[in-house]
A = this chain, B = another copy of it.
């Protein structure tokens, strides 16, 4: 008869089963589960081996009730880009695998007047252990204030440091944009246009500033007349690029602050009979799957979204709680050069 057979036949063993089998109180088993230091070595080992044999795993619901917090981590997102969310999610799940924590997802509308109270209800009701805020939700200070008020752990993912280092995953989008500037300047471009994201979006201002700084290193400046505001959507990219390509003289390159808008710029170029990668150079940002599927393939700044999610997950995970003070988790996006850019003719 194995240990497993000795527990109630209609379910998994509980802390009481383990205690009985080990001949100790449930409290001592609890101490072992929670890695208390005040357990005699022999006792601990005996209990651990029984736990192993029986396959006992403490009930997260019961633990949560007693602990007054659950073992759920919330991913609160508001980004229409499927790839962004799925990649972050994937990285988070990788980091959380085997930790006993689970990922609860929640899509929100940042502009909703009830955002904060909805999130308050969600976080309190589920007694979330922690929360991950990807961009652009990470820019909502109202949410961060709420998290502080409720004393919840959180990690913000953003293109610029918005918070103390142990609460941030930073992708230095500015440095990625600067690489795009070096690339275009190196190809001899001087009439360079830019299509931005919405006003107020941190990623947009950070990328634009980084691009300008990159250009400055080559003695170039961004001509305000060649800057159009987009909205990170395909349609806005089409529209902005149409305007830019109608100008005289025409810009020879366009840096689009995300791939969706860059894809829109491809269409605008085609409408005018311009060959992308010859008559006009286009650079995107994200390196989403579409970048490699368009023709010609698109030069783009790669954002390692999955890796960023993984880091966020590790930062929220309990093992990380015990580690040395968190070092800044920072990432520098890398320019992927493909065929949408070429030397000025």
Q: Which residues of A contact B (CB under 8 A)?
A: 12, 57, 59-62, 64-65, 70, 72, 82-83, 85-87, 89-90, 93, 102-107, 121, 124-127, 234, 263, 266-267, 270, 289-290, 292-295
Contact = CB atoms under 8 A, between A and B. Distances in A.
Contact of A89 (B105, B125, B263, B290): B105
B124 A293 contact: no
A234 B294 CA distance: 11
20 contacts: A59-B127, A60-B125, A61-B61, A62-B65, A82-B83, A82-B289, A86-B86, A89-B105, A89-B107, A90-B107, A102-B104, A104-B104, A104-B105, A105-B105, A234-B293, A266-B295, A267-B293, A293-B294, A294-B294, A295-B295
Q: How many copies does the complex hold?
A: 2
Contacts of A83: 82
A53 to B, nearest CB: 16
A126 B62 CA distance: 11
Given A104-B104, A295-B266, A121 B57 contact: yes
A interface: dominant SS: helix
Contact of A105 (B70, B93, B121): B93
Nearest to A79: B86
Q: Give the interface centre of A104, A266, A293 by most chain B CB atoms within 10 Å.
A: A293
A103 B105 contact: yes
Contacts of A59: 65, 125, 127
